[in-house]
């Protein structure tokens, strides 16, 4: 009997290594410079958010740091009420330009929103 091959159902992911490779191929930076540039870019975003600043990337979107208060939660297995600790989370809001571009890339996007 023939073997059945099941392909992975993973969503493609763009990694920092792939971003560095794109800089290498498109701009002509050497691989070390490309990696350093990508790392520096993300370090700047991380540092700004760590200082409580918003990060705005024109035509792409902005990242905000939000404080979430402690709240009651529930263990779904036991039903036991447990506290969820206060924490800081990063929220991303896509720009209108970016949202429009994403929608125009989807076939039949207009038809789906009219229904």
**pLDDT at residue number 8:** 55
**pLDDT at residue number 39:** 97
Q: 24 is written with which tokens?
A: 């290498």
CB 59 within 8 A of CB 95: yes
pLDDT tens digit sequence for 35-46:
999 999 999 999
**pLDDT at residue number 12:** 83
100 and 69 within one domain = yes
Contacts of 50 by beta carbon, 8 Å cutoff, 6+ apart: none
SS3 call for 26:
helix
CATH of the domain at 22: 4.10.520.10
CA 86 to chain centre: 22
72 and 42 within one domain = no
Question: Which of 53, 79, 101 is a domain's end point?
Answer: 53
Structural domain that includes position 37: 15-53
**pLDDT at residue number 5:** 54
**Any idea what DSSP says for residue 106?**
S
| 3 lies in some domain | no
| 8 lies in some domain | no
20 and 63 within one domain = no
Phi, psi at 87, each rounded to 5°: -160, 165
| 10 lies in some domain | no
65 and 47 within one domain = no
**pLDDT at residue number 107:** 67
pLDDT tens digit sequence for 8-17:
567 788 999 9
Name the stretches of the chain with pLDDT < 50.
Answer: 1, 109, 114-115
d(CA 105, CA 101): 6
**pLDDT at residue number 109:** 46
**Number of structural domains in the chain:** 2
**pLDDT at residue number 64:** 96
CA 16 to chain centre: 12
60 and 77 within one domain = yes
């Amino acid at each position: 009997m023939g073997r059945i091959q099941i392909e992975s159902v993973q969503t493609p992911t763009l990694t920092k290594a792939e971003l560095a490779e794109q800089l290498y191929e498109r701009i002509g930076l050497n691989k070390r410079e490309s990696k350093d540039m990508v790392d520096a870019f993300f370090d700047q975003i991380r540092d700004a958010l760590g200082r409580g600043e918003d990060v705005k990337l024109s035509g792409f979107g902005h990242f905000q740091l939000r404080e979430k208060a402690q709240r009651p939660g529930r263990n779904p297995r036991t039903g036991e009420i447990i506290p969820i600790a206060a924490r800081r989370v990063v929220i991303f809001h896509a720009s209108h330009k970016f949202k429009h571009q994403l929608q125009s890339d989807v076939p039949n996007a207009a038809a789906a929103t009219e229904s």
